[in-house]
Amino acid sequence: MNHLTSSDASIVLAGAAGQGIETVAGMLATVVKEAGYHVFVTREFMSRIRGGTNSLQLRISSDRRVSYLRRTDIAVPLSVTAIPHLERYSRLSTDTLLIGEKEYLHNKRGSESGKSIEVPFSDIAKEIGGSIYTNTVASGVIAAIFEVTPNLVYEYLTKRFARKGEKIVQQNIEAYDRGHKIGSDLVKSEEVSFQIRKNPEIKHELILGGTDAIALGAIAGGCNFIASYPMSPSTGVLTFLAQQACKFGMVVDQTEDEISAINKGIGAWYAGGRAMVTTSGGGFALMTEGLSLAGMMESPMVIHLAQRPGPATGLPTRTAQGDLRHVINAGHGDFPRIVFAPGTLEEAFILTQQSFNVAAKFQVPVFVLTDQYFVDSSYNIPKLDLSAIENTSYISKTKQDYQRYRLTADGISPRGIPNNGQGTVVADSDEHDEDGHITENLITAPKMVEKRMRKFEKIRDDFINPRVIGPDNYKSLIISWGSNFHVVREALDELQSDDVASMHFSQVYPLPDIIRNPLERADEVLIVENNVTGQFADVILTETGFQIPQENKLLKYDGLPFAVEDVIEFIEGGSRQEVS
C-alpha cells in the first residue's frame, strides 16, 4: 500500500541558517526541471546568518503549480528544531512522511506528525568525507523518489563543484549515489509513490525567481543607473544588476543611505538617464522627501519596493502587503504617481520594463510593488518573449524658447534635458513658472498644481485592466493583487465552482471608475490581502466608491504567505475573518 499517491508533491526541508538548505533547493529544482517536471520553490527564513530555523517548500507537479501549500507530503528535518518549527505552523499532519535522522525525527511535540523513516544522513556523509555532504545525500533521496536520471545530477554536480577540484566532485557524486540508493529502495518498497507526469518540453524552460524577473525587466526597460542602499528583501535586485552592469552599460551606486539613492536617481533622469532604486518599506520612508522632489520637478522615477512586515524593522525576512497606502500617500503635497503590483514572473518582467516608459511618458514616479514571498519564490516558465519590447525616451529636443513646464491640456509638458537643443532646462524644488523659475505668484502656483494633477486623467486612460478568470456569470468575485494571483487561481482550480471568479489587479493605483462594473455584477465580492486593515479594499472604496464588507476580507499578517488551503476555506464560507 502506497503511503503517498499524488500528481503533485509538496516537499519541505527545514534546518538552521547556514546548513545549506538553499543549496539543496537549487540543486533539486534544477535537476527535477531537467527531468521534465514543473517545479516551484518558496522560502521562509529567520533574520539571522546562522542558527534559528528556516524552511523551504519544493513543489513538483504534472501541471504548473506555483503556490504555497500548508500541506506537506514529505518533510526532511535537518536540525533538532526543524519538526517543532513545522508543527508550530501546522505544516505537518498524519499524512506527512518524515525522512531524516533519528534524533531529529523524535523531537516531536505531539502525535500529529505522520510516518517516519530514519536515514543516517550525517553518518553517511562522514563516511564519504565530512558532514558537508549531508545535503547531497538528502538530495539523492528526494531525486530518486521522482526517478531523476543520475546522469542529470552528475552533470549538475560536476559543473557546480568543478572549481573545487575533482576530489570534491567525486565525493559529492558518491554522496548523491548513497542517497539515491535509499530513495530507490523507498520507491521499490512502495513506502512512497507519486503519479507525476513528465513533459520533455519543460526541460527547455527557465527557472526564474521574482528578484530575477524584476532585474531583467529593468535591463529590458533600458535602465542604465541604479542607486540603492541594501535592505532585504529588495537587495537581490541591486546585486543582480551590479553583476550585469558591465555587460549592459549600467552605473551601479551602492549609496550611503536611501536619501542619497533617490536623489541620485532623480539626477540621472534629469541628465537623460533611465534610473531605478530598489528598497523596502523602511528604506522608502527615507525617500519620501525625494519623492516629493520628483513630484515637483515632474521627474520620471522608477521605484521597486519589496514589502515586508512593519512598522519599523518589523519582521525583516517575512512577507506582507502593508505598504500600499505608504507608497500612494507618501510625500508632502499632491502629485500623481502610478503603482504596479505584478502577480506573475512574466508580469514582473514586463511591468518593470514598461515602468521606465510610463515614468518617462507621464513624468511621474512609478512604483513596482512586490513582497518577500514574491521575490524569494522561483519556478519554471517558458522563455520570456522579447519581441514586443520597445523603449521610448519621450525626450524632446529643446528650442531657444523652450519652457520646461509649459501649461498643456493634458498636463504633460515637453521634457528636455541639458545640452539636447538650444533651450535652457531649469528645475528646482520650489513652485515655478512655465520656464522653471521659482515663483510665489498666487495665480501661477495653482495653475501649476492643476497642470500636474491633470495627468491623472491620461494615466487612467492607460490603465491596465484587471485579469478576470472564471465563469462570466459569476455570483462571487474574489479580488487579489500582487503576489496573491497564483494562490487564488489555484484555489479556484481546486474548487471547480461554476459561479466563483477571480479578479486580479496588477495596477493598483490609480483606478478608473469602470472597474465598478464587474464588482457590481457580483452578488458577493471577497478580497484577499496580506495586511491587517484591507488596504487595497480601502483604495477601491476611495477611488470608485465601491465598499467591500469587513466580513468579506481575508486578511493575513503573520509574515507568512497565504496557503491555497486558506483561500479555499475562505471561499467555501467557513469563516469570514482574519488569518493570523
Whichever domain contains 52, its CATH number is: 3.40.920.10
By the 8 A CB rule, do 553 and 523 touch? no
pLDDT of residue 570: 96
pLDDT of residue 113: 55
57, 319, 510, 566 from 69: Cα distances, Å: 8, 15, 32, 9
Residue whose C-alpha cell reads 466563483 in the numeric block? 500
pLDDT of residue 521: 96
**Is residue 227 a part of any domain in this protein?**
yes
Outline where 343-392 has alpha helix (H): 345-362, 372-375
Residue where a domain terminates, one of 462, 477, 511: 462
| Beta strands 378-381; 38-44: pairing state | antiparallel
pLDDT of residue 522: 97
Structural domain tally of the chain? 4
Domain identity same for 527 and 543: yes
In this structure, how many other beta carbons lie within 10 angstroms of the beta carbon of residue 70?
17
Domain identity same for 363 and 405: no
CA distance 248 to 225: 10
pLDDT tens digits, 308-352: 999 999 999 999 999 999 999 999 999 999 999 999 999 999 999
Domain identity same for 361 and 478: no
pLDDT of residue 492: 96
pLDDT of residue 107: 67
Domain identity same for 516 and 489: yes
Domain identity same for 334 and 446: no
Closest Cα to residue 4, out of 192, 187, 244? Answer: 192
Domain identity same for 366 and 401: no
Domain encompassing residue 431: 395-462
Closest Cα to residue 364, out of 273, 296, 307, 306? Answer: 296
Three cell numbers written together for 574: 467557513
The torsion region of residue 210 among left (phi > 0), alpha (psi -120 to 50) and beta comes to alpha
Domain identity same for 67 and 119: yes
CA distance 213 to 376: 11
Residue whose C-alpha cell reads 481546486 in the numeric block? 494
Q: Which residues of the chain have pLDDT under 70?
A: 1-5, 107-114, 574-580
CA distance 511 to 527: 16
Domain identity same for 190 and 243: no
Three cell numbers written together for 571: 471561499
Domain identity same for 167 and 284: no
Using DSSP's 3-state secondary structure scheme, residue 129 falls into coil
Domain identity same for 234 and 364: yes
CA distance 183 to 163: 29
Domain identity same for 453 and 356: no
**Is residue 164 a part of any domain in this protein?**
yes
Residue where a domain terminates, one of 462, 479, 509: 462
Q: Which residues make beta-bridge pairs with 445?
A: none
Question: What angle, rounded to 10 degrees, do the helices at 150-161 and 21-34 form?
Answer: 130
Outline where 130-280 has alpha helix (H): 134-145, 150-161, 166-188, 210-220, 235-248, 258-270
pLDDT of residue 202: 94
Domain identity same for 370 and 442: no
In this structure, how many other beta carbons lie within 10 angstroms of the beta carbon of residue 311?
10
Question: What angle, rounded to 10 degrees, do the helices at 345-362 and 210-220 form?
Answer: 40
Angle at 273 between CA 270 and CA 277, to 5 degrees: 90
| Beta strands 500-505; 476-481: pairing state | parallel
